[in-house]
Amino acid sequence: MNIESFDLYNPPMDFIDHVYKYYKLLREKSPIHKNPDGSYVLTTYKEIVSVYRNFKIWSSDKKIDFGAKFGASPLFEHHTTSVVFVDPPNHTRIRKIFQQAFTPKSIRGLEKDIINLVDSYLITMHEKKKFDFVSDFSFRLPVDVVCSVLGIPSEDRQLIRDWAHKILGALEPKLTPKQLDEGSTAVVNFKQYLKDQIRFRKTHKDINNAHEILSFLIEAEGLELSETELLHQCIFMLNAGHETSTNMLSHGLNELINHGDQFKLLQKEPERIDTAIDEILRFQPPIQINNRRCLETTMLENVTIPEGTPVHMIIAGANRDPSQFFEPEIFNISRSPNRHLSFGLGIHICAGINLARLEAKVAFLRLMSSFKEINLLKKPTIAKRIRFREIKEMQVEVSSF
């Protein structure tokens, strides 16, 4: 194909199956690529890092984009209030609360819960022997963890999954009226649900104390956060902390299975877990694209980007840029250094990094030590989404030691 005419909003039919091939072509032939709608698609590490770092020129505020896309709807309210889509000074104020809530101590406090959750799924997996890894493991752990962070009862977790899927799904470049409608309804229901939860917790301080992070957010209400802001940060956290981690776990296992030598190496030398997690994240970034809008006319390499232009930062392209990564197409769990961009960079860098890493660490170490082998029964199904790289289904067979 002629890559000069590539359109991110209307990618070629085989795009999802060959995303890395297309991003490589863009990186090599059109690294600062003008999309037919006038926005720019960036695929090189250097340019993406420079955009992440310069938040005064590159705005995360999405009121213009989402005004056009969502109109005056609950989806608009949500996506323009969550911390990830606001600029300083509001971003600084809200982000501080996340930082105070996600302390190393509060994350450490979750480790035992995470181990217990993983062990409970492993029992079922040992019994079943053949199962869908997504529904029996990678989908369950992050949602159970993030719900536990916010003190959401386990019986309501399916509700949360459905709402999250509809709200985040609305961030895909192209949407049907039905998807828009479902996204907005999900925001309304999610807000009401959280209002009830928070009201309950305010009157039950003993329960509150068991969920340090939620209590921290509740205490900030009225001081640093309005009620609407509080609700949207909770929704955002429930969403941000679950689809992403689910896909990290699914892709991680898939890549380890596809690279049997690396699977065996991690099994034999579990001390490689930290570099292995980074390599999984580099190789298959769960969020493939971040966006910014240019606040003043600026140059990227030798291209002038006019004020107001939206840019798409292709994390999935930057993570395989040979100017930053030696042999980028090779999956190497010992890679170091590994400065991938899967958690973003700069002022909006993921606030849940330590939690995501802890989930991955417990999950992969326990999977590796519980099963001698894990094999795919068929090729996993990849969802037709370009922002989130989602494995929908992954049938596996396990054999015990």
Binding site for ligand HEM (CB under 6 A): 60, 83-84, 95, 98, 146, 237, 240-241, 244-245, 248, 286-287, 290, 342-344, 348, 350-352, 355-356
Omega of the bond leading into 270 within 30 degrees of 0 (cis) = no
Count Cβ atoms below 10 Å from residue 131 Cβ, excluding itself: 19
Q: Judged by CB, which is closer to ligand HEM: 84, or 134?
A: 84
Q: Judged by CB, which is closer to ligand HEM: 240, or 363?
A: 240
Contact present, 400 and 126 (Cβ < 8 Å): yes
Least distance (Å) from ligand HEM to the CB of residue 328?
18
Q: Judged by CB, which is closer to ligand HEM: 25, or 69?
A: 69
Least distance (Å) from ligand HEM to the CB of residue 92?
9
Q: SS3 of 260, please?
A: helix
Contact present, 22 and 314 (Cβ < 8 Å): no
Q: Judged by CB, which is closer to ligand HEM: 208, or 342?
A: 342
Q: Judged by CB, which is closer to ligand HEM: 159, or 347?
A: 347
Least distance (Å) from ligand HEM to the CB of residue 335?
17
Q: Judged by CB, which is closer to ligand HEM: 4, or 111?
A: 111
Least distance (Å) from ligand HEM to the CB of residue 360?
7
DSSP 272-313: GHHHHHHHHHHHS-SB-EEEEEESS-EEETTEEE-TT-EEEE
Q: State how far the Cα of 190 lies from the Cα of 179, in Å rounded to an integer.
A: 16
Q: Judged by CB, which is closer to ligand HEM: 125, or 146?
A: 146
Residues 21, 23, 24, CA angle at the centre, nearest 5°? 65
Least distance (Å) from ligand HEM to the CB of residue 271?
21
- Closest residue to ligand HEM using C-beta atoms: 352
Q: Judged by CB, which is closer to ligand HEM: 230, or 398?
A: 230
Q: State how far the Cα of 36 lies from the Cα of 28, in Å rounded to an integer.
A: 19
Contact present, 391 and 252 (Cβ < 8 Å): no
Residues 61, 171, 191, CA angle at the centre, nearest 5°? 80
Least distance (Å) from ligand HEM to the CB of residue 71?
23
Burial of 148 (0-12, 13-18, 19+ CB in 10 A): buried
Least distance (Å) from ligand HEM to the CB of residue 399?
28
Q: Judged by CB, which is closer to ligand HEM: 80, or 290?
A: 290
Least distance (Å) from ligand HEM to the CB of residue 195?
20
Taking phi first (over 0 means left), then psi (-120 to 50 degrees means alpha), and beta for anything else, what does residue 394 get? Answer: beta
Least distance (Å) from ligand HEM to the CB of residue 70?
18
Q: State how far the Cα of 123 lies from the Cα of 145, in Å rounded to an integer.
A: 18
Least distance (Å) from ligand HEM to the CB of residue 199?
22
Q: Judged by CB, which is closer to ligand HEM: 93, or 181?
A: 93
Q: Judged by CB, which is closer to ligand HEM: 73, or 148?
A: 148
> Which residues contact residue 398 at a Cβ distance below 8 angstroms, ignoring those fewer than 6 apart?
125, 126, 129, 130, 371, 373, 374, 375
- Residue holding tokens 């302390």? 103
Q: SS3 of 32, please?
A: strand
Residues 31, 35, 37, CA angle at the centre, nearest 5°? 160
Q: State how far the Cα of 299 lies from the Cα of 304, in Å rounded to an integer.
A: 5
Least distance (Å) from ligand HEM to the CB of residue 338?
14
